Amino acid sequence: MDNRPPELGPFVRLFQSHGKRMLLGILLGLVAIASAVGLLSLAGWFLTAAAMAGLSAAGPWHFNFFLPSIGVRLFAFSRTLARYGERVVNHDTTFRILESLRVWFYRHIEPLAPACLSRYRSGDVLNRLVEDIDTLDNLFVRVLSPSAAALAVSVLLFGFIGLFDPVIAVCALAFLAVAGFIVPFAAASFGAQTGRRLGRQSAVLRVRILETLQGMPELLVYGTQAQHLESIRQDSDGLMASQRRMSHITGFSTASITLISGLAVTFVLYLGVDRIDMAAEYGGAELALVTLAVMASYEAVWPLPMAFQFLGRTREAGRRLMEIVTSEPAVHYPEQSRSLPEKYGLAFENASFRYAENAPFVLESLNFQVSVGSRVAVLGTTGSGKTTIVNLLVRFWGPTTGRICIDGVDITTLSEQDLRRSVSVVSQQAHIFSTSLRDNLLMARADATENDLREALAAAQLLSFVDSLPHGLDTWVGEAGKMLSGGQARRLAVARAFVQDAPVWVLDEPTEGLDRVTEGQLMQAIMERTVGKTVLLITHRMVDIHRMDESILLDNGRIVAQGRHENLLTRNPRYQRFWGYPPTINQPE
C-alpha cells in the first residue's frame, strides 16, 4: 500500500478559489495564440492573393485590398493586447496563488510547532516555505494554462482547416498532437527523476549554505571552514550536473518540436497541392493560408515540453510540502473551552512524558501543586526535565500519562486562545522578532498603551536604554534581536511578559546571562509585578530562591526533594548537594 502523501492534487483544489482569474488568463492566452495564427495565415493569404491578382489584367481592379489589410491590423492589435493582458492576469493570478499557498502552508505548520517541526532543520522548513512554494507556480502558469490553451487551439485549428479539406485537417492535427502530447510526455518521463533529484539537491544546498553562514564564526574559530566549503562545492557540482541533464532534455524537446513543425508544414504543402483546387481564382492563396496556419499553431505547444519536463521538480516540491502538512500535530485544541478557570492554581497530577513510544521517560509521575498567589521554584541540573515542564504546561507537547490542570480544569479542554491568555512565559531561549521594540512588546497584548509599554520596560531595567535610542520604541532590533546584547534580549522578553500580565507566570531561567546587579534588580521587579499571581520559576541559580514559597528538585525527571528552601537546605542531602553544601551526616535522603 502506498502511504506517500499526495503531491499536486491538494494544490489544484486550492487553485479553485482563483478559478475566474485563471479562466480569464487562459482565454486571453487562447485569443493571443488564435490572433497569431490568424495574423500569419491571413497575411500569407493576402500577399499571395495580391500577387496572383497582379498577374491578371483585371485582377487589381476587382481585388479587395482593404478588408484583408484591416484583418491583418486587427489580428496584430488583438495579439499584442491579448498577450499583454494574458501576462498581466497570469502573473497577478500566480502571485495570488502563491499568497494563498503560503498562508495555507503556514496555517498548517503552526499547529505542528515545535513538536513536529523539531524533526526538520530550520533551513529545510524555510526552503519548503519559500522555494518549494515558488516552484509550484509552474503548475498554473507553465502547465495548466498553456495546456488548456494548446488543447483549445488544436480543436479550433482542426475545425478551421477542415473547412478547406478534412484530410489535411486530420494530418495537421496528428502532427500537432505529437508535438503537444507525445513530446511533452517524453520530456516529463525523461525529466521526472532528474527533476525530483534537482528539487532535493537544491534544498540540500540551500540548507547547507544557510547553516554554514550562520555558523561561520564557529567554523573560523575551529578552522573547519574549508571542509564545509568543500561540501558546498560538491553539492553545487551535483546540482549543476542535474541542471545540465535538464538542459539536454530541453534541447531535445525544442529540436523535436522544430522538426515536427517542419515536417507538418512540408506534409501539408504536399497534400495541399493535390487536394486544394489550385485552378480556383485564389487556390494558391488558400494553400498559403492553410500552411501558415499550421506553422503558426505551434506557438501553442512550444512551452509544453519544458513545463512538463520540470513537472517532476514541481511534484517533488508538492510532496515535500505535503510531507509536513499531513503530519499529525502533537496536541489538538478544542474550538471553544469547555469551562474557564475561576482561579489560576496549577496542578500536575501523575504527569509523565516521553518523546517517543520506546524512548525513556523525560518526566515520570510528577505530582505537585502551585496554589493561587504562590511561587514555586523548580530546580535541577541540565537535562533533569525542568524545561519539559514548561513545554507541557504551554502544550507544546502533551503528557504521555496523567494530566495538568489550572484550577481543576484540564488544560486539554481549553482553547488555544484561552490557554495563551492564561499563561505568561519567559522561555529559556525567548525569540526576538526582526521588527521594532514596540512590535515585539505588542505581540504580548495588541491593545497595550504607550504607558503600558514604558512601565514594562522600566520594570525590566530597559527604559533608560530605549530612551537613549534615536528612534526609541520604534528602533528595529534586527534578526533574532542581533542589535541587542544577550542581556538586553532577555530583559526584553521579560518586559513582554510584563505587558501580557497573565494570571499564571512561567519563568525559565529569566536572569540567565545577566550580571549580578541587573539580575537582582530584575528579580525584584518580577517579584513585585507577580504579587497575587501563580508563579513557576525554572532555575538552577540561588537568586531570590528564599522568596519562593516552595522548591522542587528534579533528578532524571523525578521529584527527589520538595518543600521550603530553608527546610530542605538543612534536612535533605540531595538538596544540599545540589547547592554545593556538604550533606548533613546520617540524614535520610
Residue 465 has pLDDT above 80, yes or no: yes
pLDDT digits (tens, 9 = 90+) for 99-148: 888 999 988 888 888 888 888 877 788 888 888 888 887 788 888 888 88
Whether 408 and 519 map to the same domain: the answer is yes
Given 325, 346, 373, which residue is the final one in a domain?
A: 325
The range of the structural domain enclosing residue 542 comes to 358-578
Q: Rounded distance, CA 53 to CA 60, Å? A: 6
Q: Are the C-beta atoms of residues 346 and 393 closer than 8 Å to each other?
A: yes
pLDDT: which is higher, 584 or 339? 339
pLDDT digits (tens, 9 = 90+) for 220-258: 888 888 888 888 899 999 999 998 998 998 899 999 999
Q: Rounded distance, CA 341 to CA 265, Å? A: 80
Question: Is the residue at 350 inside a domain?
Answer: no
Q: Rounded distance, CA 585 to CA 374, Å? A: 32
Nearest residue to 319 via CA among 433, 226, 203, 416: 203
pLDDT digits (tens, 9 = 90+) for 281-313: 556 788 888 889 999 999 889 888 888 888 878
Query: Over the Cα atoms of the chain, what is R_g?
Result: 36
Q: Rounded distance, CA 340 to CA 406, Å? A: 9
End-to-end CA distance of the chain: 56
Mean pLDDT across 47-62: 66
Q: Rounded distance, CA 486 to CA 477, Å? A: 12
Q: Among 319-328, 344-353, 523-532, which range has the highest average pLDDT?
A: 344-353
- Grid cell locating 328: 499529525
Whether 245 and 372 map to the same domain: the answer is no
- Grid cell locating 416: 488555544
pLDDT digits (tens, 9 = 90+) for 336-392: 988 888 888 999 999 999 988 888 999 999 999 999 989 999 998 888 888 899 999
Nearest residue to 142 via CA among 82, 198, 94: 94
Whether 258 and 369 map to the same domain: the answer is no
Given 325, 344, 367, which residue is the final one in a domain?
A: 325
Q: Rounded distance, CA 271 to CA 8, Å? A: 43
Q: Are the C-beta atoms of residues 139 and 313 closer than 8 Å to each other?
A: no
Given 284, 302, 325, which residue is the final one in a domain?
A: 325
Residue 384's CB: how many other CB atoms inside 10 A?
22
Whether 551 and 413 map to the same domain: the answer is yes
Whether 379 and 308 map to the same domain: the answer is no
Please give the tally of structural domains in the chain: 2
Question: Is the residue at 303 inside a domain?
Answer: yes
3-state SS assignment for residue 428? coil
Whether 449 and 542 map to the same domain: the answer is yes
Q: Are the C-beta atoms of residues 513 and 430 closer than 8 Å to each other?
A: no
Q: What is the pLDDT of residue 260?
A: 94
Question: Is the residue at 282 inside a domain?
Answer: yes
Whether 389 and 306 map to the same domain: the answer is no
Residue 513 has pLDDT above 80, yes or no: no
Q: Which of 45-54, 122-131, 382-391, 468-477 has the lowest mean pLDDT?
A: 45-54
Residue 206 has pLDDT above 60, yes or no: yes
Buried b (16+ CB within 10 A) or exposed e, 166-204: eebbebbbebbebbbbebbebbbebbbebbbbbbbbbbb
Tell how strand 375-379 and strand 534-538 pair up: parallel
Q: Are the C-beta atoms of residues 169 and 158 closer than 8 Å to each other?
A: yes
Residue 279 has pLDDT above 70, yes or no: no
Nearest residue to 64 via CA among 282, 276, 280, 279: 282
**What secondary structure letter does DSSP report for 567?**
H
Whether 319 and 368 map to the same domain: the answer is no
- Grid cell locating 513: 546571562
Whether 422 and 534 map to the same domain: the answer is yes
Q: How many residues does the chain have?
A: 589
Whether 316 and 363 map to the same domain: the answer is no
Question: Is the residue at 533 inside a domain?
Answer: yes
Nearest residue to 18 via CA among 107, 108, 91, 109: 91
Q: Rounded distance, CA 526 to CA 520, Å? A: 10
List, in sequence order, every residue forming a beta bridge with 457; answer none if it has no partner: none
Q: Are the C-beta atoms of residues 371 and 536 closer than 8 Å to each other?
A: no
- Burial label for 241, CB within 10 Å (0-12, 13-18, 19+), is middle
3-state SS assignment for residue 3? coil
Residue type, 226: A
Inter-CA distances, 294 with 31, 158, 275, 546, Å: 16, 10, 16, 90
Nearest residue to 527 via CA among 514, 546, 513, 541: 546
DSSP string for 48-103? HHHHHHHHSSSHHHH---HHHHHHHHHHHHHHHHHHHHHHHHHHHHHHHHHHHHHH
CATH code of the domain covering residue 452: 3.40.50.300
Phi and psi, residue 101, nearest 5°: -65, -45
Q: Rounded distance, CA 195 to CA 317, Å? A: 10
Strands of the sheet containing 409-410, edge to edge, are 363-370, 346-353, 401-406, 409-410
Cα dihedral sign for 294, 295, 299, 302?
Answer: positive
Question: Is the residue at 331 inside a domain?
Answer: no
Question: Is the residue at 45 inside a domain?
Answer: yes
Q: Rounded distance, CA 63 to CA 276, Å? A: 21
Residue 403 has pLDDT above 90, yes or no: yes
Question: Is the residue at 1 inside a domain?
Answer: no
Q: Rounded distance, CA 576 to CA 1, Å? A: 58
Whether 390 and 320 map to the same domain: the answer is no
- Burial label for 328, CB within 10 Å (0-12, 13-18, 19+), is exposed
HSE of 502, CA atoms in CB hemisphere, 13 A: 26
Question: Is the residue at 216 inside a domain?
Answer: yes
Residue 271's CB: how many other CB atoms inside 10 A?
17
Whether 181 and 237 map to the same domain: the answer is yes
pLDDT band at 3, cuts 50/70/90? very low
